[in-house]
Amino acid sequence: MTRTWMILMFAAVLGTVPTYGHHSFAVYYLEDQAVSLEGELMALDYVNPHAWVHVAAADTAGRVHRVSAEWSNPGRLQRQGITRDTLKPGDRVIVTGSPARDPSEYKMHLKRIERPADGWKWIGQGQRF
């Protein structure tokens, strides 16, 4: 009886412990590669679990595409002084990051972003780009 009670208590405690999950960016992005592009900021989605930067940028043929760059989470960005008002639609930016495994998605994992007009920039921790 004591053993059964202990197992039930252990199961109850285990059931109340929050679980945290996170995907590997390498599943979606080519983390060993880097691409940079310059364009006009269309939108900043400052949402959990990751903020997104959407940029209108031309490809090598001159066609303009909406490129979405997956950034860090808003809590971490806020601790680094970046708010939802740091970047505004119309800002000219240069984004650098790891491209999506599927190039038709026009996505990247953001590693660096710059706004040349005033010299503002953000570089991810430990980035070599």
Assess whether pLDDT exceeds 70 at residue 64. yes
Q: In whole angstroms, what is the distance from residue 103 CA to residue 118 CA?
A: 31
* Under 8 Å between Cβ of 69 and 108: yes
Q: What is the percent of the chain where pLDDT is above 70? A: 79
Phi-psi region of 22 (alpha: psi -120 to 50; beta: other; left: phi over 0): beta
Assess whether pLDDT exceeds 80 at residue 68. yes
pLDDT, one tens digit per residue, over 19-30 is: 444 567 888 899
Helix (H, G, I), strand (E, B) or coil at 123: strand
* β-strand partners of 55: 41, 67
pLDDT of residue 25: 84
Q: In whole angstroms, what is the distance from residue 102 CA to residue 86 CA?
A: 30
Q: In whole angstroms, what is the distance from residue 90 CA to residue 93 CA?
A: 9
Per the prediction, the chain carries an average pLDDT of: 86
When pLDDT is averaged across residues 47-55 and rounded to a whole number, the result is 96
The identity of residue 95, as a single letter, is: V
Domain 28-123 falls in which CATH fold? Answer: OB fold (Dihydrolipoamide Acetyltransferase, E2P) (2.40.50)
pLDDT of residue 125: 77
